[in-house]
Structure 1
Amino acid sequence: MNQWLEDLRIATGFLTRLPMPHPDGARPQNFARAQRVFSLVGAFIGAAIGLACLLLRAIGVPDLAAAALALGGGALLTGALHEDGLADVADGFGGGRDAAAKLEIMRDSRLGTYGALALLVSFAAKLTAVAAIPDGAVVQSLIVAHALSRGVLPWLSISLPYARKDGLAANAGRPDGVMAVVAAGIALAIALLSLRFSDALLAAIVAGAGACLIALLAMRQIGGQTGDVLGAAEQVAETAILVLLAARLG
């Protein structure tokens, strides 16, 4: 039990801006193990965004504005961690001539044209999707989207080689297969408890497909993973799930 609580502290401290004491969090093996609870922290993030959206709707804020404000609050909660990864991947993959150049661009903290467009498309898709989901399903949908999109990250982490020897992904350590199975199992259980079976299953498939798409693209572009690649995979999976659920529930 102590290990699970420590994992939750490490994962929460990494995935959000909430101050969480985790004295052993700097050890790669501890962070790698903590990835098994990424989906639990994701569910918390999704619940916070969903409840904020629902509250704003309840006081008369239009659906589109409520969705925008809730998603903005979610970015503050997470420090836009994964959005930053998506922008860096878009800039690097779109602007670099070769793998070395792409990786160098991805290290650059400045936002380029490709990154800006990627963020714009992603936010617009999430915004309109959340606005289209009815009150009775918006919290559950956001919980599922955030849980599943983080539950696939350990699989990517163990499946892809490192594109560089340093950086966030390499320094964080790699979880083992058992941790990846646990992470996926928790994410799927959250989805099944939150949605109808068919919707939960489709959401899980879409999350896996989105992550696989980014994995294949990363292998072709830079030969493996970085922390930015994992962030981009989370964003693609999250956006795809929300669009799917808006189409089915809206």
Structure 2
Amino acid sequence: MKKELRIFFTALMFLTRLPVPKFTDHSQEYLEKSARYFPLVGWIVAAISGITFLVFNHHVGENIAILASIVAGVFTTGAFHEDGFADVCDAFGGGWTKEKILAIMKDSRLGTYGVTGLTGILAAKFLLLKELAAFTPGMHTSFLDIVSRYQPFLLVLVAAHALSRLMGVWTIYLFDYVTDPDGSKSKPVTSLKPSWATLLLASLFALFPFIFLPWQFALAIVPVVLIAYRLARYFKKWIGGYTGDCLGAIQQVSELTFYLAAIIVWRYIG
């Protein structure tokens, strides 16, 4: 149990900026096993974003609450995934060869493609969450009343964060990590493919929130899987596999895809 806790805290330390116990370190052994808990970390990020939304919605209003929840998520992860998405936009927007793409991707400076992509994805996230929140409107007089009214919205939030991180785990399993030619790029999350036990546990964590949602929301998983797979195939075509930044981009795009699919399900199927 202590070993599993250490593996979990390693995943938490890797994906977020939340404090972890002192016995947690950067052990490669535990980092390689930590992928099984990536969706569970998604629960935590979603919980922090969701609580922030509820508090601000109670005291200020829905629009500010959505913006605050996004900011809370960014601060929780240290913009870990957003940074990867921006780097991917810069690299694949400005590079036409594998070497050039990897060189741009490791550059700490943010270019026009990165700024445009980051602005676009944050704006899309705000609009999609606003649309999702609109499905549970109504007058409220207490904090508990808000929690009750926005319960479906909060569950979708948890499902999106967990499922989108699962896509990264499956990408690690299905595709190869791309080594930077000059060796200066950071090492992969794991030098080993996740075991079937890791994939199963990660998948269970990602799918568990759907137990509390209407069954129709399971349909939203399909476009997420398809988009994530196609994006990973695109990376393979251009650079031969994935990098850490590519995994961040897959997480962000998968999260937005799930929000969009959930809106369609909610409006036309649910």
Provide the TM-score with structure 1 as the length reference. Answer: 0.91
Please state how far the C-alpha of 1:154 moved relative to its aligned partner.
Answer: 1.4
Structure 2 residue 79 is matched with structure 1 residue 80: yes
Moved more, 159-168 or 143-152: 159-168
Partner of 2:27: 27
Listed as ranges, the matches of 1:1-250 within 5 Å are 1-21=1-21, 23=23, 25-61=25-61, 63-133=62-132, 134=136, 135-164=150-179, 166=183, 167-170=185-188, 172-174=190-192, 175-190=194-209, 192-199=210-217, 201-249=218-266
- Distance in 2 between residues matched to 1:198 and 1:245, nearest whole Å: 9
Q: Residues 136, 186 of structure 1: CA spacing in aligned structure 2 closer, same or farther, 3 A cutoff?
A: closer
Residues 9 and 22 in structure 1, CA contact (< 8 A), matched pair in contact too: no
Q: Kindly report the root-mean-square deviation, in angstroms, between the aligned alpha carbons of the 2 structures.
A: 1.8
Please state how far the C-alpha of 1:178 moved relative to its aligned partner.
Answer: 2.5
Instruction: Give the letter aligned to residue 80 of structure 2.
Output: L
Q: Residues 14, 171 of structure 1: CA spacing in aligned structure 2 closer, same or farther, 3 A cutoff?
A: closer
Q: Deviations over 1:70-115 (max 9, x none)?
A: 1011101110000000011111011012000000000001111111
Instruction: Give the letter aligned to residue 173 of structure 1.
Output: S
Please state how far the C-alpha of 1:186 moved relative to its aligned partner.
Answer: 1.8
Please state how far the C-alpha of 1:171 moved relative to its aligned partner.
Answer: 5.7
Q: Which secondary structure does the structure 2 equivalent of 1:97 belong to?
A: coil
Residues 47 and 140 in structure 1, CA contact (< 8 A), matched pair in contact too: no
Of all paired residues, the percent bearing the same amino acid is 32
Residues 50 and 70 in structure 1, CA contact (< 8 A), matched pair in contact too: yes
Instruction: Give the letter aligned to residue 211 of structure 1.
Output: A
Q: Residues 144, 171 of structure 1: CA spacing in aligned structure 2 closer, same or farther, 3 A cutoff?
A: closer
Instruction: Give the letter aligned to residue 213 of structure 2.
Output: L
Q: Residues 49, 172 of structure 1: CA spacing in aligned structure 2 closer, same or farther, 3 A cutoff?
A: same
Please state how far the C-alpha of 1:23 moved relative to its aligned partner.
Answer: 4.3
Q: Deviations over 1:143-172 (max 9, x none)?
A: 111011112211111211121155445364
Residues 25 and 31 in structure 1, CA contact (< 8 A), matched pair in contact too: no
Q: Which runs of 5+ in 2 are unaligned?
A: 137-149
Q: Which secondary structure does the structure 2 equivalent of 1:51 belong to?
A: helix
- Distance in 1 between residues matched to 2:266 and 2:48, nearest whole Å: 20
Residues 188 and 204 in structure 1, CA contact (< 8 A), matched pair in contact too: no
Q: Which runs of 5+ in 1 are unaligned?
A: none
Residues 96 and 102 in structure 1, CA contact (< 8 A), matched pair in contact too: yes
